[in-house]
């Protein structure tokens, strides 16, 4: 399975994958992140937070990840997450990576917490448009 950075011509396919898999959808400009990886059957949309409090180190954020249903449980999301974490740590010197996930999303929660070692930092009430709460999660990144 080939994982590579997205090119401009990939963006419509990525947006289609997002529309099929998640209720949270994004305008095309959000798919133009500089550290976004893409494969034919899934994507990760990750960014560096531009605004950090004074003196705080930079950190990354995963906005959205999804893999088409028939390609799940093959380790693709894990690979996409690890690749993006590596870029955040080595290129951008990010101290940690954050994300939000629905409380009911067992598959994603298991990926983040059990496979990748994220911790739940907070519960954000009614974070999603339909009223569901989110876990705010964080992973501290290792530096050489
Ligand atoms: N049930 C339980 N654990 C799971 C499941 C599941 N359905 N799916 C993944 N995991 C855990 C397992 O520990 C798995 O390791 P294992 O297969 O060795 O047991 C580990 O995560 C790695 O799984 P991957 O194969 O890398 O995950 P996959 O490529 O299937 O993608 C994803 C997981 C992205 C959550 C997929 O199910 C999906 O696209 N879901 C719909 C979209 C979605 O919910 N995205 C996340 C929203 S939150 C956000 O974007 C920040």
- Structure ipTM: 0.98
**pLDDT: is 126 or 11 the higher one?**
126
pLDDT of residue 17: 83
CB-ligand 1 contact for 23 (6 Å cutoff): no
SS (H, E, C) 1-59: CCCEECCHHHHHHHHHHHHHHCCCCCCHHHHHCCCCEEECCEEEEEEECCCCCCCCCCC
> How far apart are the C-alpha atoms of 62 and 84, rounded to whole Å?
9
pTM of the model: 0.83
Mean pLDDT for all residues in the chain:
87
Predicted confidence (pLDDT) per residue in 3-51, tens digit: 777 777 787 877 888 888 888 887 776 766 544 554 457 889 898 987 7
Report the nearest atom of ligand 1 relative to the CA of 74.
25
Q: Is 78 in the pocket of ligand 1 (CB under 6 A)?
A: yes
């Amino acid at each position: 399975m080939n994982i590579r950075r997205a090119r401009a011509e990939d963006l419509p396919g990525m947006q289609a994958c997002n529309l099929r898999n998640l209720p949270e959808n994004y305008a095309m400009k959000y798919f133009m992140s500089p550290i976004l990886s893409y494969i034919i059957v899934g994507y990760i949309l990750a960014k560096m937070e531009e605004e950090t409090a004074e003196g705080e180190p930079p950190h990354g954020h995963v906005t959205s990840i999804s893999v088409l249903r028939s390609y799940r449980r093959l380790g693709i999301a894990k690979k996409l997450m690890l690749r993006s974490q590596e870029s955040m740590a080595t290129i951008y010197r990010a101290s940690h990576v954050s994300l939000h996930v629905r409380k009911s999303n067992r598959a994603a929660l298991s990926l983040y917490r059990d496979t990748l070692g994220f911790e739940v930092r907070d519960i954000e009430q009614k974070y999603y448009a339909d009223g569901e709460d989110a876990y705010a999660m964080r992973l501290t990144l290792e530096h050489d």
